[in-house]
Amino acid sequence: MPKSLKLNVLIGLITFNLSLFAQPVVEKYPTGSIKSEGILDEHRKQGEWVFYYPSGTKSATINYSLGQLDGLAMYYYPDETIMAKETWEDGLLTDSAFYYHENGQLEKKGVYEKGLYKGQWVFMNDQGVLIRKGTYENGLPNRSWTSYYDDGTIWQEGAYTEGLESGLWRFYRKDGSLEYEGHYENGIRVGEWFLVNKRGKRKLVVFEETEESN
């Protein structure tokens, strides 16, 4: 057999074998509109897949490796403005992530590690005003956290230990004046708490250790 013919046969066999394992797939809604499209390799999603709303607009672009999310994932609202931007590795969220309100304003951002929240995260309302910020460790709130009213004035501040409120917490009115304060232990109000009226007068309230916070 001539070398050129052998080469053509070999290329044909390789192409045929690859086609058995990697196939372009188009999934459809009952209406017939495209639901998703991408490559299946041995029945597992591979490479970039594109997903659509029933209306036909793009809902997501997601990368896969051996059937698991791996790489950049982008999600969209029905008008195709960005809903979220994530990075995946071996099926777990990792690195920086960004989430957006439907009007395009940032909703929250932070970092994942092995699928869990890590480090500082910030949360915004749909007007772009910071409403909450704090730190996560092993996916749980830890250390200092601060929450704000929608106009940006402080609402509450305190700390968490392994996801539970701990230590001194303070709560404020919208005008910025202190409303009440006290201590938590393992997520439960303990000891002396003080209610503070708008003139600054403090009223003592004592919580039993068994009384849970509201």
Q: Provide the 8-state DSSP code for 105.
A: -
pLDDT of residue 199: 86
Q: What pLDDT score does 25 carry?
A: 97
Residue carrying the six token digits 């601060």: 146
Which residues are CB-neighbours of 147 under 8 A, at least 6 positions away?
131, 132, 154, 155, 156, 157
Among residues 53, 69, 51, the alpha carbon closest in space to that of 61 is found at 51
pLDDT at 195: 95
Domains defined along the chain, listed by start: 24-93 (2.20.110.10)
User: With left for phi above 0 and alpha for psi between -120 and 50, is residue 42 left, alpha or beta?
Assistant: left
pTM of the model: 0.84
Residue-level pLDDT, tens digit, the chain, 214 residues: 554 544 444 444 444 444 456 899 999 999 999 999 999 999 999 999 999 999 999 999 999 999 999 999 999 999 999 999 999 999 999 999 999 999 999 999 999 999 999 999 999 999 999 999 999 999 999 999 999 999 999 999 999 999 999 999 999 999 999 999 999 999 999 999 999 998 888 999 887 654 444 4
Question: What's the pLDDT score for residue 198?
Answer: 87
Among residues 110, 55, 113, the alpha carbon closest in space to that of 85 is found at 110
pLDDT value for 200: 84
Q: How far apart are CA 180 and CA 189, in angstroms?
A: 12
What's the residue count for the chain?
214
Q: What is the pLDDT at residue 10?
A: 42
Q: Given this model, what pLDDT does residue 157 score?
A: 99
Tens of pLDDT, residue by residue over 79-89, are 999 999 999 99
DSSP state at residue 213:
P
pLDDT for residue 32: 95
